[in-house]
């Protein structure tokens, strides 16, 4: 028999509001509306399907205050993470809504109406207080605090929801199940004791061993329930992770485990989040929940120390275990014993016994460099999937971004580098010259700072897409402003390599090399806002290479760029 929901009743608003669906759908089209953020979309789905039972809406001010300060809803029910709908005050004012108003909430992906909120109150919060009380520190190195500081809007909207439509998913539909569907699955399979396992990372042999040990200890079946909403920035994408989970499921004894996805927006809130995760798994019907080492921990703070102790999350869940009414299965980290070819909890390994482990950092290094990943650590099927998603450097794309004054020689360097990379072979090479981009992508733009930044952002977008596809991209705009260049780097670096080359040819040489006479016209005042004359050029602070064609030949500059690429493994045979 599945566990009872948190609060005693599964608050599935889809089922509750089904008789009103047609009327709600019609009303939703007549109401003012807002488009949800990605986090709000995840939260909304779990409120509507009962995953966040007993919640039936976004927190009011009283609920928010009670949760932040007391880990409880106003009625005393245990709840540890604030769930709120944040909207800009200017947006609310333009919509003309206030307490008592009804507002349609729309899907950011397809603009479909998902729910109607009846607004109970509008309120503001103390962000520092939330950071300190909920996440333990007002430190932007914590992903949730960074989100709170930079993404959370200024006004919170509390109120109950009515369900209109479920969010439409097109990926892994067969294993996206609501709490009611998971409970029905348990009933069909005659599962009465279920251990739930939360993960946001790929699973390897140690994870399989951990979950099987938990099943043996509690005489239970296993629900693998990975998060496919928002996780920690930099995590492996959920498409790759789900392929890994699907590959590892046959490694369990037949009938022992099921895979079901959870559209949760994690906060990486450590102890409080662990309690929240236990509540959610209880709503899905699990009777047991695995809490491992540093559960939902975000890593290091801005001083280099861990935000939370390794077993702080276990301690808080155990503190509330009687109220949670879901049995916690605490686990220490498992380590591999090569002499006996087995995994053991690290606290059970005798002193002097040889152990092996591969950290997440080391795994990422091996994936990037193509170094071998031993079978004691992971299954060949899993490694193959991870290598497809994380090819070695010589199969990844990169961008070389040359910046400098007009006629500094950056275009000549770019063309020569294109020839050298084409000669090297192995990937397509694209050239994005400043004049070409101006003609083909930005012909409507002028030369104000804002328009220059838009032009550079467009170059960055194209460069990132080319890099993501495994190509070599050479961009050579003037790009005079440091912030715009940093934004390009941030965008491209998510897709592959990025190298900033400052072509620092002196202005007087650029003027001399300018056959078109553009500098002369700018000096004469015929052209306004020309970089280097009456508009600034901000030299890069930390470029990967500084080049000056008056001191170094173009062929030598190209060679130095090639050496950078070879050093990092993007070209050459290692």
β-bridge mates for residue 156, sequence order: 86, 123
Give the pair of three-digit tokens for residue 150: 């930079």
* C-alpha to C-alpha distances, 19 to 96, 106, 281, nearest whole angstrom: 29, 21, 28
* 201 is a catalytic site residue: yes
Residue 232: count other Cβ atoms within 10 Å of its Cβ: 17
User: What's the confidence (pLDDT) of residue 131?
Assistant: 97
Instruction: Going residue by residue through the chain, which has 574 residues, state the pLDDT in tens, using 9 for 90 and above.
Output: 688 999 999 999 999 999 999 999 999 999 999 999 999 999 999 999 999 999 999 999 999 999 999 999 999 999 999 999 999 999 999 999 999 999 999 999 999 999 999 999 999 999 999 999 999 999 999 999 999 999 999 999 999 999 999 999 999 999 999 999 999 999 999 999 999 999 999 999 999 999 999 999 999 999 999 999 999 888 889 999 999 999 999 999 999 999 999 999 999 999 999 999 999 999 999 999 999 888 999 999 999 999 999 999 999 999 999 999 999 998 878 999 999 999 998 889 999 999 999 988 888 888 877 889 999 999 999 999 999 988 888 889 999 999 999 999 999 999 999 999 999 988 999 999 988 888 888 889 888 999 999 999 999 999 999 999 999 999 999 999 999 999 999 999 989 999 999 999 999 999 999 988 999 999 988 888 899 999 999 999 999 999 999 999 999 999 999 999 999 989 987 6
* C-alpha to C-alpha distances, 380 to 314, 339, 389, nearest whole angstrom: 32, 21, 14
Helices (H) and strands (E) in the chain, counts: 22, 18
Three-state SS at 321: helix
Question: Do 353 and 339 touch, CB atoms closer than 8 A?
Answer: yes
Tell me whether strands 155-163 and 113-123 are parallel, antiparallel or unpaired.
antiparallel
| Sequence-separated (6 or more) residues with CB below 8 Å from residue 392 | 367, 368, 369, 370, 569
Angle at 185 between CA 45 and CA 197, to 5 degrees: 70
Indicate which residue of 200, 208, 243, 452 is catalytic: 200
Exposed, middle or buried, 253 (CB in 10 Å: 0-12/13-18/19+)? Answer: exposed
Q: Given CA atoms 227, 228, 233, 239 in this order, what sign does their dihedral have?
A: positive
Tell me whether strands 472-476 and 545-547 are parallel, antiparallel or unpaired.
unpaired
Give the pair of three-digit tokens for residue 213: 């040990």
* C-alpha to C-alpha distances, 426 to 31, 141, 220, 276, 422, nearest whole angstrom: 55, 38, 51, 48, 8
Give the per-residue SS3 of 438-489: HHHCCCCCCCCHHHHHHHHHHHHHHHHHHHHCCCEEEEECCCCCHHHHHHHH
The shares of helix, strand and coil residues in the chain, as percent rounded to the nearest 5, are 40, 20, 40
Give the pair of three-digit tokens for residue 54: 């007993």
Q: Given CA atoms 161, 166, 172, 176 in this order, what sign does their dihedral have?
A: positive
User: What's the confidence (pLDDT) of residue 235?
Assistant: 85
Spatial separation of the C-alpha atoms in residues 300 and 71, rounded to whole Å: 24
User: What's the confidence (pLDDT) of residue 574?
Assistant: 60
* 361 is a catalytic site residue: no
Indicate which residue of 199, 231, 287, 467 is catalytic: 199
Nearest alpha-carbon partner for 43 in 148, 115, 138 = 115
User: What's the confidence (pLDDT) of residue 198?
Assistant: 94
Q: What is the CA radius of gyration of the chain?
A: 28
User: What's the confidence (pLDDT) of residue 102?
Assistant: 98
Indicate which residue of 201, 335, 355, 390 is catalytic: 201
User: What's the confidence (pLDDT) of residue 443?
Assistant: 86
């Amino acid at each position: 028999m599945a566990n009872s929901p948190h609060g005693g009743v599964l608050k599935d608003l889809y089922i509750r509001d089904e008789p009103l669906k047609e009327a709600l759908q019609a009303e939703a089209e007549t109401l003012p509306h807002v488009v949800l953020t990605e986090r709000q979309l995840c939260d909304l789905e779990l409120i509507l399907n009962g995953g966040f039972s007993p919640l039936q809406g976004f927190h009011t001010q009283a609920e928010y205050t009670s949760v932040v300060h007391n880990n409880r809803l106003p009625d005393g029910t245990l709840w540890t993470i604030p769930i709120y709908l944040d909207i800009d005050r200017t947006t609310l004012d333009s919509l003309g809504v206030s307490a008592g108003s009804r507002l349609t909430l729309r899907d950011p992906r397809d603009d479909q109406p998902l729910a109607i909120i009846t607004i109970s109150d509008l309120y503001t919060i103390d962000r520092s207080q939330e950071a300190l009380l909920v996440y333990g520190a007002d430190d932007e190195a914590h992903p949730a605090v960074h989100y709170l500081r930079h993404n959370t809007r200024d006004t919170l909207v509390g109120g109950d929801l009515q369900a209109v439509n479920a969010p439409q998913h097109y990926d892994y539909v067969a294993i996206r199940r609501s709490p009611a569907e998971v409970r029905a699955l348990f009933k069909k399979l005659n599962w009465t004791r279920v251990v739930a396992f939360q993960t946001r990372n790929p699973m390897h042999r140690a994870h399989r061993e951990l979950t099987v040990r938990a099943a043996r200890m509690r005489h239970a079946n296993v629900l693998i329930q990975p998060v496919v909403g928002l996780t920690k920035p930099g995590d492996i994408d959920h498409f790759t992770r789900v392929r890994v989970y699907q590959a590892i499921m046959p490694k369990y004894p037949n009938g022992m485990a099921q895979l079901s996805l959870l559209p949760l927006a994690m906060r990486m809130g450590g102890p409080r989040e662990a309690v929240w995760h236990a509540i959610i798994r209880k709503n899905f019907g699990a009777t047991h929940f695995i809490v491992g080492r540093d559960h939902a921990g975000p890593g290091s703070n801005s001083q280099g120390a861990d935000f939370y102790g390794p077993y702080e999350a276990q301690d808080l869940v155990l503190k509330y275990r009687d109220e949670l009414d879901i049995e916690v299965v605490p686990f220490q980290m498992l380590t591999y014993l090569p002499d006996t070819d087995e995994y053991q909890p690290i606290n059970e390994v005798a002193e002097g016994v040889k152990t092996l482990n591969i950290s997440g950092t080391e795994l990422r290094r091996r994936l990037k460099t193509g170094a071998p990943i031993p079978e004691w650590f992971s299954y060949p099927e899993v490694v193959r999937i991870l290598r497809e998603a994380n090819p070695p450097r010589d199969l990844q794309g990169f961008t070389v971004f040359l910046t400098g004054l007009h006629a500094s020689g950056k275009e000549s360097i770019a063309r020569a580098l294109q020839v050298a990379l084409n000669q090297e072979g192995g990937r397509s090479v694209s050239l994005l010259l400043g004049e070409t981009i101006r003609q083909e992508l930005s012909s409507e733009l002028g030369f104000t700072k804002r328009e220059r930044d838009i032009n550079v952002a467009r170059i960055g977008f194209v460069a990132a897409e080319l890099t993501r596809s495994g190509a070599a991209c050479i961009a050579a705009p003037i790009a005079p402003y440091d912030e715009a260049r940093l934004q390009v780097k941030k965008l491209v670096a998510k897709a592959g390599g990025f190298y900033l080359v400052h072509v620092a040819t002196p202005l007087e040489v650029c003027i001399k090399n300018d056959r078109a006479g553009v500098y002369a016209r700018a000096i004469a005042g015929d052209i306004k806002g020309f970089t280097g004359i009456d508009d600034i050029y901000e030299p890069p602070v930390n470029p990967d290479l500084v080049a000056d064609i008056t001191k170094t030949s173009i062929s030598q500059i190209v060679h130095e760029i090639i050496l950078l690429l070879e050093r990092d493994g993007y070209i050459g045979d290692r």
